[in-house]
């Protein structure tokens, strides 16, 4: 048996008695104050394992007595059969401060007051009593469980304490969160849940169940589910569950609602798989899902030999075979990663079927801003869905088969258009950051357009006003050149410098970050640290995010951290708005190219360049090269060599920038102002995941009961397409089912609605589609 919560509490108590033997004498006791008496219900259980005595009415059998009796037991002048070692003195209704108050100690506690000087305390590091929630959630001295932080859960936790202590710690740690619903289920007499708990851990369930309760459970199983746990066993029960015979369909539905709560059921289903499968129940057996994932992985690897058109045709055929698996319990348990990656590969196929417009700069920028960025986004999402090395390798092969040619052609088209424009000085990079009272520029290094769209969505969902446009990066698209072009300095403060940096025209010093900050300060711009909010009546410059740094360090593994960076960017913007800034202007210096499988290397003769980067190089005066060139932003007489198309001057690069492509040159500018619902702590929809026609919603900022619904018209309750709207709970997530398959692929509105009907948060979704 794995460690139970009761075992873990006992271990915490024993650990609290440890001491430095070279410095201190052994404690005579461990004092456990519990002013709210939250732990009283399990003291008897702990006494079976540990030398616990309790303050209270005199009862030798319960090892309980008044303060003088406790003092005698600690001194071993009264024998109650405790093993050797320091006793644990449980003090219900007594706080640590009561004993520590020498002059005001209550008379009934006076006999044990002096024990504090010879004992150790079992209390929180902040010297307060260990509450049930605090000990169970504390990662250092407690159990490290995730427990919802609301009043309902606090009450339910105490109500279910004598049941929770029998749960296995490893299983509770796999719970996303322990909330009021979970605790109340433990104390309710629910036959369906009892069957699932038994299937999840048959031996543990029997050991934790008293004989009378076990007899009742067996009788209930016979009457309601037509099986005998003692005779038929768990494998037969799991087979009935998977086949969903008779009353077992209800059990299956309950399991499918929260399969993560019953991790052992999956193994029982594995053992119970029948030899002759029924097609309708094929989704019940984990081996079938694993076989499908293996087959899909193999077929995706074979994309390396396909043409782009052949790859698009094949990925659509595969999705017709595997799309149904995104609605299974295995998808919910994150065991159908390739099925979800496939959904994004289909989105990639749809965008790349049509090349980017190429007539002129305006048409390329418009087409990329309207739809082209979705191809980049689909690649990132497909890679993020595949988290194991073998899955990511297969997805990379499939993505590259469709994406490489498309991104290469787009880059060549833009290079062909920009080259003559740059030479004619008609290529206009975006203007420097605005300098206006009440406005702050928030710089994000490498905020590519598709990632910016994620930021915009999050800001809009949070109730902020968002106005987004695109501009062009300075050339070449590297931070050394393009970031200084955005910095609000005095006119003429920067000019040509060494390498790819400009320089301070007054001193000739290279424009390092320190130089740029000094120039902004001289121009009346506040330069803020990462946590400073500054004076909102003035103007300021701040920075946030690690996108470009991580891209260079991690390559395609950047996708594993994108959500974290988006969270950080959105959080910083909200912090600045809440601090009183009228307008936050989000700007970036460049985008980037990320190509699964790496970019093809092209040679640039070493003798021709002064400085060479992955996708650009500063050429020596008079150097002649057979790759595209453009003038440098800071000195038109300096030529910059560009890696053609989607190639690179360095080998083995998956992530790079500095060249000319829509991904690198077309950059976002996002203006954010406060909205009517952008209050501090307002409800926010943080994550939406479709499992077939089941919509899993995660949210934050909810303090009162709120209803979550899926509607055709956001403000019209009668347009709901959900089987049932759901009230929020302390778990921070709900599931909504769309029962009518005809709605799949339709646009709908996910709304969070207050009791008075006010829409608190809203998000547009496509039914059954993850994007």
Distance in angstroms (rounded) separating the CA atoms of residues 284 and 698: 26
Range 61-71 average pLDDT: 92
Hey, which residues does 765 pair with through a beta bridge?
748
Taking only the tens place, the pLDDT of each residue in 203-241 is 888 887 878 888 888 888 888 898 999 999 999 999 999
User: Sorting pLDDT into bands at 50, 70 and 90, what band is 181?
Assistant: confident
User: Sorting pLDDT into bands at 50, 70 and 90, what band is 167?
Assistant: confident
More confident residue, 314 or 203: 314
Backbone angles phi, psi at 720, to 5 degrees: -60, 135
The SS3 of residue 195 is helix
The SS3 of residue 652 is coil
| pLDDT the model gives residue 1 | 44
Predicted confidence (pLDDT) at residue 405 exceeds the cutoff of 50:
yes
Nearest to 411 by CA among 148, 647, 114: 647
User: Sorting pLDDT into bands at 50, 70 and 90, what band is 567?
Assistant: very high
Q: Quick one: tokens of 715?
A: 């403000």
Q: Residue 557 in contact with residue 539, Cβ under 8 Å?
A: no
Cis preceding-peptide flag for 119 (omega within 30 of 0): no
Question: In the chain, pLDDT over 70 holds for what percent of residues?
Answer: 98
| pLDDT the model gives residue 2 | 62
Distance in angstroms (rounded) separating the CA atoms of residues 343 and 768: 10
The SS3 of residue 479 is helix
| pLDDT the model gives residue 678 | 45
Range 681-704 average pLDDT: 84
Return contacts of 726-729, CB within 8 angstroms, 24+ apart: 728/699, 728/702, 728/752, 729/179, 729/180, 729/181
How big is the chain by its Cα radius of gyration, in Å?
32
Instruction: Count CB atoms within 10 A of the CB of residue 212.
Output: 8
Range 548-557 average pLDDT: 96
| pLDDT the model gives residue 188 | 66
Average pLDDT over the chain, rounded to an integer: 91
DSSP per-residue letters across 601-625? B----GGGEEEE-SSEEEEPTT---
The SS3 of residue 712 is coil
Range 183-207 average pLDDT: 85
* DSSP-H helix ranges across 446-598: 449-461, 479-482, 513-522, 547-554, 562-578
Q: Which residues lie closer than 8 Å to 600 by C-beta, 6 or more apart?
A: 646, 647, 648
In this prediction the pTM is 0.80
Predicted confidence (pLDDT) at residue 424 exceeds the cutoff of 90:
no
| pLDDT the model gives residue 549 | 95
User: Sorting pLDDT into bands at 50, 70 and 90, what band is 279?
Assistant: low
Taking only the tens place, the pLDDT of each residue in 369-398 is 999 999 999 999 999 999 999 999 999 999
Taking only the tens place, the pLDDT of each residue in 93-146 is 998 888 876 567 788 888 888 888 899 999 998 888 999 999 999 988 889 998
Q: Which range (181-185, 391-395, 637-641) has the least confidence?
A: 181-185
Q: Which residues lie closer than 8 Å to 28 by C-beta, 6 or more apart?
A: 74, 86, 115, 118, 119
Predicted confidence (pLDDT) at residue 681 exceeds the cutoff of 70:
no
Distance in angstroms (rounded) separating the CA atoms of residues 262 and 193: 10
Range 499-511 average pLDDT: 94
Nearest to 413 by CA among 460, 470, 356: 356
């Amino acid at each position: 048996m794995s460690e139970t919560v009761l075992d873990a509490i006992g271990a915490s108590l024993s650990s609290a008695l440890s001491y430095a033997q070279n410095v201190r004498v052994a404690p005579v006791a461990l004092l456990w104050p519990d002013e709210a008496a939250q732990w009283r219900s399990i003291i008897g259980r702990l006494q079976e394992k540990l030398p616990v005595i309790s303050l209270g009415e005199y009862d030798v059998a319960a090892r309980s007595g008044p303060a003088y009796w406790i003092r005698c037991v600690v001194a071993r002048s009264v024998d109650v059969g405790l093993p050797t070692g320091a006793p644990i003195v449980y003090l219900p209704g007594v706080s640590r401060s009561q004993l520590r108050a020498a002059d005001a100690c209550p008379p009934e506690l006076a006999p044990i007051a002096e024990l504090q000087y010879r004992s150790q305390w079992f209390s929180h590091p902040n010297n307060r009593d260990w509450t049930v929630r605090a000990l169970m959630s504390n990662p250092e001295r407690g159990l490290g469980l995730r427990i919802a932080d609301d009043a309902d859960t606090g009450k339910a936790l105490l109500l279910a304490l004598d049941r929770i202590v029998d749960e296995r710690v490893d299983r509770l740690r796999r719970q996303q969160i322990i909330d009021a619903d979970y605790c109340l289920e433990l104390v309710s007499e629910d036959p369906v849940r009892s069957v699932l708990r038994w299937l999840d851990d048959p031996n543990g369930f029997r050991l934790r169940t008293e004989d009378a309760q076990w007899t009742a459970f067996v009788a209930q199983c016979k009457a309601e589910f037509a099986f005998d746990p003692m005779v038929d066993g768990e494998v037969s029960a799991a087979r009935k569950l998977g086949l969903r015979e008779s009353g077992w369909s209800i059990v299956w539905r309950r399991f499918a609602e929260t399969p993560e709560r019953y991790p052992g059921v999956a193994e029982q289903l594995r053992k119970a798989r029948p030899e002759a499968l029924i097609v309708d129940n094929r989704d019940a057996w984990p081996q079938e899902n694993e076989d499908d994932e293996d087959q899909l992985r193999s077929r995706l690897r074979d994309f390396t030999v396909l043409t782009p058109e052949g790859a698009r045709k094949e990925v659509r055929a595969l999705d017709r075979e595997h799309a149904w698996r995104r609605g299974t319990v295995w998808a919910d348990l994150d065991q159908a990663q390739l099925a979800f990656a496939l959904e994004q590969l289909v989105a990639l196929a749809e965008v790349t079927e049509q090349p980017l417009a190429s007539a002129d700069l305006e048409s390329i920028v418009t087409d990329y801003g309207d739809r082209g960025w979705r191809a980049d986004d689909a690649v990132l999402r497909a890679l993020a869905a595949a988290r194991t090395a073998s899955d990511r390798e297969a997805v990379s092969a499939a993505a590259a088969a469709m994406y490489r040619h498309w991104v290469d052609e787009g880059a060549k088209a833009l290079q062909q258009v920009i080259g003559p424009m740059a030479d004619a000085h008609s290529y206009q990079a975006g203007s420097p950051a605005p300098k206006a009272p009440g406005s702050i520029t928030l710089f994000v290094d490498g905020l590519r357009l598709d990632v910016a769209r994620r930021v915009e969505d999050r800001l809009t969902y949070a109730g902020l006003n968002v106005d987004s446009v695109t501009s062009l990066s300075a050339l070449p698209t590297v931070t050394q050149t393009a970031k200084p072009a955005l910095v609000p300095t005095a006119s003429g403060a920067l000019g040509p410098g060494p390498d790819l940096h400009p320089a301070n025209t007054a001193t000739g010093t290279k424009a390092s970050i320190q130089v740029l900050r000094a120039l902004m300060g001289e121009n009346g711009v506040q330069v803020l640290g990462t946590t400073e909010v500054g004076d909102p009546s003035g103007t300021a410059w701040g920075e946030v995010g690690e996108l470009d740094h991580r891209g260079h360090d991690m390559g395609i593994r950047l996708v594993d951290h994108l959500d974290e960076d988006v969270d950080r960017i959105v959080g910083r913007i909200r912090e600045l708005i809440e601090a009183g800034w009228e307008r936050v202007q989000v700007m970036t210096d460049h985008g980037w190219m990320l190509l699964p499988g790496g970019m093809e290397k092209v040679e640039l003769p070493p003798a021709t360049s002064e400085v060479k980067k992955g996708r650009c190089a500063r050429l020596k005066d008079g150097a002649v090269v057979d790759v595209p060139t453009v003038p440098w932003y800071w000195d038109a007489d300096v030529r910059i060599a560009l890696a053609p198309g989607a190639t690179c001057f360095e080998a083995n690069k998956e992530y790079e920038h500095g060249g000319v492509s829509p991904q690198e040159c077309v950059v976002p500018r996002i203006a954010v102002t406060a909205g009517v619902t952008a209050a501090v702590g307002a409800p926010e929809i943080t994550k939406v995941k479709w499992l077939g026609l089941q919509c899993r919603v995660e949210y934050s900022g909810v303090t009162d009961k709120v209803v979550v619904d899926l509607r055709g018209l956001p403000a019209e309750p009668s347009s709901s397409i959900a089987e049932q709207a759901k009230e929020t709970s302390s778990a921070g997530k709900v599931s909504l089912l769309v029962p009518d398959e005809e709605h799949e692929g339709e646009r709908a509105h996910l709304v969070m609605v207050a009791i008075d009907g006010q829409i608190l948060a809203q998000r547009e979704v496509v039914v059954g589609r993850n994007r």
